[in-house]
Structure 1
């Protein structure tokens, strides 16, 4: 039986970032299953399976890309005879779309006066996609995402488009609560590397664009704790174009450079840092989900989140602290201190972690995506 030809659009397939991770982890598994003939349309990619056909898309700087991307996809769809197009990108031609948040939401949260030109253009493309006659399924990455979607596009209520929450997954082979020996070994190794004591409490911050992700609030919280003689340290994983500015801000705050370790981008072996930490902190001003929270939960780590991180939906009972205002450094410091001092609560959370994480695996996400493809293909064939 001839397999259906599926085109998945992810411009930077397999690279770091929540959207790129979601696209590659799910699509790789669908390709390995052999049920579909999988093609990926991308500008750059990492081929980890050898079972995907890749097609290069010429993605140039905005705004030209928005004028040409959809035309390129249409042309390729005709030439290649794709049966279904699943996009993880903003373009106006697809049967299935993975959706995080409306493009106009972040400028609204920022309270900007007027609407930036880029947002105006992006929203037109988004509107054409979501209200097109071709679209059959919207896969939202959280329940919050569904609420945002329905508020921004109430017209969807009367259209034959399925909307389903499809959470990202986590690799349970990599992220799991460490044994006591693993934890002590990991802490000792990192303490020796950075000149810390193995007994020092360690927080973990993961993400790029540090101002947006709340590094400033985390550093101010660190200062509060250091003034209380709590020897907390912070591991910062990810990159920011203005790292020098952060070093200057640390100096202004009185946060010592030896208290913070900047790890840069960590692709392989990042789970080792989860084993060495006492908590994860993610005080984002805005997130469409926050996949790193799943990795922390699977590792048995408590998480300290801002209320603007939809991944709070997947937290187990008493599995974290939610800070209403992402700029609330004092509230964040109180949450950090509470988790540092309550080892019994951390141990209890670690014991629950595996069971919670099993609900959110990449295999589950791939199976649900395959079911959506089957339904969509059946409906298209009439």
Structure 2
């Protein structure tokens, strides 16, 4: 098949963020392996690839309600001139051939997750653009990153299941690898974690939404019930440290919680831990879950995290109701047992192997080819 022009649409490319990382990892591989002419239409980007052509798309950010509409409008103008063979969007625009969906319907985000009584002008504008994309005749396939998102999209926009295909994010298997004892010992020493202590890991840029308070209270509940072994908690990311440090001290865990701030060496940080916990109120996916699993950590995540699609209860982790204290406590206690932890650690690493970025890129290339036939 001759080389085709593929337009990838995203506001920010190669910058910080789960969705941005998804687009970057996938598109870099498409440019390397697909044999097609890859063009990225973005407002900002960061890339060293010589195989991708970038197109600057303006965004009007003031007044704020113009942000989504202006991006969609200027993308439409640019694509009309460019005339690509396929438009693959990762954001809300007026129309595309395929769309990777990193979020739930915006009206549901506003009402159910943000709990806003009434949508702002920005929310209304964003929802309008989103609705045009979902109801356009052109878009052949929507690719949510999780079943959780897919169900909400299908029900809200009354889409046929034939227009939905769940494609979770990939993972860099080489970067996030099974336990390295030398790295583990070094990082645990840095954080002041003793060899006999079970270290639970929390990672997030929003302590409240990601459920740090629930985790701290759960660890406080199980601590007196442990017949042997000690537990510690490592908190990585950004949030109100003072608030949660005070909370830990109030429940008797002050000395057991370590706040590490934002880290750029997460592939090493995972090595220090024994289990990963994410009790979010909502996450469309949660790429840190796959990073933890690739690093050989059993995971405990809430049933409001899209990455639950990858978790087999009792095998590589646990999916729990964040409002069920007994369920959370039971999962954490089981992971303190060395034999159980070792078994689930091996299963976690094993189960994530099929989700490499290269394999995801191949699936996308197959989708492109089907559209181009």
Q: Same fold (TM over 0.5)?
A: yes
User: Which blocks of at least 5 consecutive residues in structure 2 are unaligned?
Assistant: none
Q: 1:259 to 1:50 in 2, by over 3 A?
A: farther
Alignment match, 1:377:
372
Scaled by the length of structure 1, the TM-score of the pair is 0.87
Q: Deviations over 1:249-305 (max 9, x none)?
A: 33444431x4333333334x3111222111100000011112222222222211111
Shift of 1:340: 0.8
Count matched residues: 366
Q: Is 1:218–1:329's contact at 8 Å kept on the other side of the alignment?
A: no
Scaled by the length of structure 2, the TM-score of the pair is 0.89
Alignment match, 2:165:
164
Shift of 1:335: 1.8
Alignment match, 1:174:
175
Alignment match, 2:232:
233
Shift of 1:210: 1.4
> What is the alpha-carbon distance in structure 1 between the residues aligned to residue 56 and residue 116 of structure 2?
38
Alignment match, 1:37:
37
Q: 1:11 to 1:244 in 2, by over 3 A?
A: farther
> What is the alpha-carbon distance in structure 1 between the residues aligned to residue 174 and residue 368 of structure 2?
27
Q: Is 1:225–1:333's contact at 8 Å kept on the other side of the alignment?
A: yes
Q: Is 1:280–1:303's contact at 8 Å kept on the other side of the alignment?
A: yes
1:69 aligned residue (57, 68, 71) = 71
Q: Deviations over 1:166-218 (max 9, x none)?
A: 1211111122322xxx23x3332123212232221111112211111111111
Shift of 1:97: 0.8
> What is the alpha-carbon distance in structure 2 between the residues aligned to residue 367 and residue 331 of structure 1?
38
Q: Is 1:214–1:327's contact at 8 Å kept on the other side of the alignment?
A: no
> What is the alpha-carbon distance in structure 2 between the residues aligned to residue 251 and residue 351 of structure 1?
34
Shift of 1:66: 1.9
Alignment match, 2:353:
358
Shift of 1:111: 8.2
Shift of 1:328: 4.3
> What is the alpha-carbon distance in structure 1 between the residues aligned to residue 115 and residue 313 of structure 2?
36
Moved more, 33-42 or 244-253: 244-253
Alignment match, 1:310:
306
Shift of 1:331: 3.9
Q: Is 1:141–1:165's contact at 8 Å kept on the other side of the alignment?
A: yes
> What is the alpha-carbon distance in structure 1 between the residues aligned to residue 349 and residue 246 of structure 2?
40
Shift of 1:165: 1.3
SS in 2 for 1:201: strand
Q: 1:222 to 1:50 in 2, by over 3 A?
A: farther
Alignment match, 2:247:
249
Q: Deviations over 1:4-61 (max 9, x none)?
A: 2212122222233321121111111000115111111223322143321122333343
